[in-house]
Amino acid sequence: MIITIDGPAGSGKSTAAKKLAEALDITHLDTGATYRALTLAALRAGIDLEDESALIDMVGRIDIKMGYTDGNLRVTLDGEDVSREIRAADVSDNSHYVACSVGVRDVLVAMQRRMGAELVGESGGFVAEGRDQGSVVFPDADVKFYLDASCEVRARRRCDEMPDADYEQVLRAIRTRDERDSTRPVAPLIKPDGAVVIDTTDMNIEEVTAELLSHVRSAK
Ligand code: DC
């Protein structure tokens, strides 16, 4: 079974994807981690993030792998565990450069499809989460979801995860990312055809997971 969950930052899709995958005993494919790992590699190498050909060259040379240890996602970059480093603020702030490049996306989309095919072989399916999973990467998915929530609630959730963060600043960053994700010329964030749209503004994670599960069960 192939399930996709798309939506903006802070819509709850990561936690929901993880919980849904656990409930169905399949794997969670966090595709944002591939964009983050490349961004980290580019920042470390000091390459100009606006130089698309340098990014394309780099994505062809690095090795990104994902796996799970004790239920936690482990991302490796050329064999080094970078699971924590890819969540740093400078990686989040700069990931839009790699996400906006058609050439980079072609390589990462192929990588995500390969990872997906391996997961189908290993566990019979996966829950892929990102911005373009139901629209571009796995358009034939069995069930597609699009999660959304108000900007204010999404900013509040981010602040709950990062106690030192300033709410107004986080809210501004979320609005900027929304604008970038939905207006970019390549693979913009859209509601995929046939997706079940869920507004999580007034829902907690258990309610979101239960709702996703009930849709998946009725689709089986
Ligand atoms: O979901 P996230 O915050 O980990 O995503 C990191 C970056 O990658 C963000 O700029 C959006 C982008 N992204 C994307 O363009 N397509 C995806 N399928 C997943 C993430």
| Domains of the chain, first to last | 2-209 (3.40.50.300)
Question: Is 31 near ligand 1, meaning CB less than 6 Å away?
Answer: yes
CB atoms within 10 A of CB 92: 17
Range from 63-72, 99-108, 120-129 carrying the lowest mean pLDDT: 63-72
Question: Is 39 near ligand 1, meaning CB less than 6 Å away?
Answer: no
CB atoms within 10 A of CB 140: 8
Q: How far is the CA of 108 from the centre of ligand 1 (A)?
A: 11
Query: What is the model's pLDDT at position 103?
Result: 95
Q: What CA–CA distance (Å, rounded) separates 1 from 69?
A: 22
Can you read off the two tokens belonging to residue 22? 């656990």
Question: Is 134 near ligand 1, meaning CB less than 6 Å away?
Answer: no
Can you read off the two tokens belonging to residue 102? 């058609």
Question: Is 158 near ligand 1, meaning CB less than 6 Å away?
Answer: no
pTM, to two decimals: 0.93
CB-facing half-sphere around the CA of 11: CA atoms within 13 A: 22
Query: What is the model's pLDDT at position 185?
Result: 86
Taking only the tens place, the pLDDT of each residue in 149-167 is: 999 999 999 898 888 889 9
Instruction: Give the position, in ligand 1's atom list, of the atom nearest the Cα of 96.
Output: 10
> Is the pLDDT at 9 greater than 90, yes or no?
no
Q: What is the dihedral of CA 142, 151, 15, 197, to 10 degrees?
A: -20
Q: How far is the CA of 15 from the centre of ligand 1 (A)?
A: 15
Question: Is 18 near ligand 1, meaning CB less than 6 Å away?
Answer: no
pLDDT band for position 35 (cuts 50, 70, 90): very high
Query: What is the model's pLDDT at position 45?
Result: 97
Q: How far is the CA of 132 from the centre of ligand 1 (A)?
A: 9
Question: Is 26 near ligand 1, meaning CB less than 6 Å away?
Answer: no
Instruction: Give the position, in ligand 1's atom list, of the atom nearest the Cα of 13.
Output: 1
pLDDT band for position 22 (cuts 50, 70, 90): very high
Q: From residue 140, how far is each of 32, 84, 136, 151 by CA, in Å?
A: 20, 32, 9, 30
pLDDT band for position 135 (cuts 50, 70, 90): very high
Question: Is 154 near ligand 1, meaning CB less than 6 Å away?
Answer: no
Can you read off the two tokens belonging to residue 152? 């204010």
